[in-house]
């Protein structure tokens, strides 16, 4: 079996671990494995390079992706998808494995309309927003990166008895904000899955200060309905009569060496993607649910909303006391 592998969309820690597992397990099981450089656009540009065991040496611990990544406007069109299908067929590929987020899964579903080859997706995104896996590759590392930063910010917040709003990534899903908020003891967590008015937020902050808290942390997902942290911070400052400080963590969340959890998850999913193909299973995203490896149809990964733990949300006010 001749397999192409690529990474698409935003990078996430441990993508390299997945590439390593796909390559080495694939070769061990008598497959040819080719890396596609530059994401989906790399197919259209013909950027295929055969991989061997040495190609993926010493990458397990590295963040980013050795295959590089990107977004392709050309691939969004039907003409681009047909072109990609022809290139893959002409090159003799039997299967394509793509590591990325919901945009990547949508792209694979679209490609399936024009190519008879087998398609498998791996959930590589720090947002953890794909249905069909408990955790996505890179999420744990991103949370730990954000957690480390927030712990340092709290030191300054406590030294000056200040209110800090810290913005984390999460345009459409608040999993990073949710996990980081609980792990740092935030007084409030703002994210797309919940609705909080400015008055409610102000009351929470005032109540926290009245409890003689030495500092108040508010974690904000970038996609919250009230706006970004800067917009919310200005409005909150007017409400409480005190200047609120704002820190935007940005791309620092994506970088760095992947955690143990992400390396193991990426390795399991990479190896399982090869097993699926060799057993005739394809047309979906591999994931891990309740400790079991599963294959979920592409469309389900973005049409079914992955839920936030409502029981934990209910504890937030009690825990922030």
In the prediction, which pLDDT does 82 show?
97
- Bridge pairing between strands 163-168 and 245-248: parallel
Is 11 assigned a catalytic role?
no
Domains in the chain with CATH codes = 2-138+258-303 (3.40.50.450), 140-254 (3.40.50.460)
pTM over the 0.75 mark? yes
Q: Give all strands (DSSP E) within the chain, no chain letters.
A: 2-7, 32-36, 48-50, 95-100, 118-123, 163-168, 188-190, 216-221, 245-248, 284-289, 292-297
In degrees rounded to 5, what are phi and psi of residue 294? -135, 165
Report residue 3 CA to chain centroid gap. 24
User: What's the confidence (pLDDT) of residue 213?
Assistant: 66
Distance of alpha carbon 321 from alpha carbon 307, whole angstroms: 25
Mean pLDDT in runs of 10 for the chain (321 residues)?
96 96 98 97 96 94 93 94 97 98 96 97 96 97 94 84 90 93 90 91 88 82 92 93 90 90 98 98 97 97 92 80 61
Residue 124 DSSP one-character state: B
pLDDT digits (tens, 9 = 90+) for 289-299: 999 999 999 99
Phi then psi for 213, rounded to 5 degrees? -70, 135
- Distances from the Cα of 30 to the Cα of 2, 22, 294, angstroms: 9, 12, 23
Residue 254 · residue 138 · CB < 8 Å: yes
Residue owning tokens 């069109």:
77
Which of 90, 94, 102, 127 does the annotation list as catalytic? 127
List Cβ neighbours of 55 (8 Å cut-off, separation of 6 or more): 23, 35
- Give residue 157's pLDDT: 82
Give me the sign of the Cα torsion angle 21, 26, 28, 33: negative
């Amino acid at each position: 079996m001749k397999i192409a592998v690529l990474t698409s969309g935003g990078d996430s820690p441990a993508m390299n671990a997945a590439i390593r597992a796909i390559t080495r397990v694939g070769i061990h099981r008598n497959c040819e494995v080719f890396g596609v450089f530059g994401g989906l656009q790399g197919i259209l540009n013909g950027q295929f390079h055969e991989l061997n065991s040495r190609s993926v040496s010493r990458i397990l611990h590295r963040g980013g992706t050795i295959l590089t990544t990107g977004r392709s406007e050309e691939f969004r069109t039907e003409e681009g998808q047909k072109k990609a299908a022809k290139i893959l067929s002409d090159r003799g590929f039997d299967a394509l494995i793509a590591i990325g987020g919901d945009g990547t899964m949508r792209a694979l579903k679209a490609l399936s309309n024009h190519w008879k080859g087998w398609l498998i997706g791996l959930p590589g995104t720090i947002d953890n927003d794909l249905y069909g896996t408990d955790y996505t590759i890179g999420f744990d590392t991103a949370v730990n990166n954000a957690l480390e930063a927030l712990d340092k910010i709290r030191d300054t917040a406590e030294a000056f008895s200040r209110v800090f709003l810290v913005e984390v990534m999460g345009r459409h899903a608040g999993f990073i904000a949710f996990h980081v908020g609980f792990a740092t003891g935030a007084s409030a967590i703002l994210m797309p899955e919940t609705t909080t008015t400015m008055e409610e937020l102000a009351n929470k902050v005032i109540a926290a200060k009245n409890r003689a808290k030495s500092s108040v942390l508010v974690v904000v997902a970038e996609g919250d309905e009230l706006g970004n942290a800067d917009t919310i911070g200005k409005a909150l400052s007017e409400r409480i009569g005190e200047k609120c400080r704002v820190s935007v963590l940005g791309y620092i969340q994506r970088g760095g060496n992947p955690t143990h959890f992400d390396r193991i998850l990426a390795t399991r999913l990479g190896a399982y993607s090869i097993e699926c193909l060799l057993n005739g299973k394809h047309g979906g995203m591999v994931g891990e649910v309740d400790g079991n490896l599963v294959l979920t149809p592409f469309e389900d990964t973005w049409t079914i909303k992955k839920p936030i733990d409502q029981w934990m949300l209910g504890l937030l006010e009690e825990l922030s006391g």
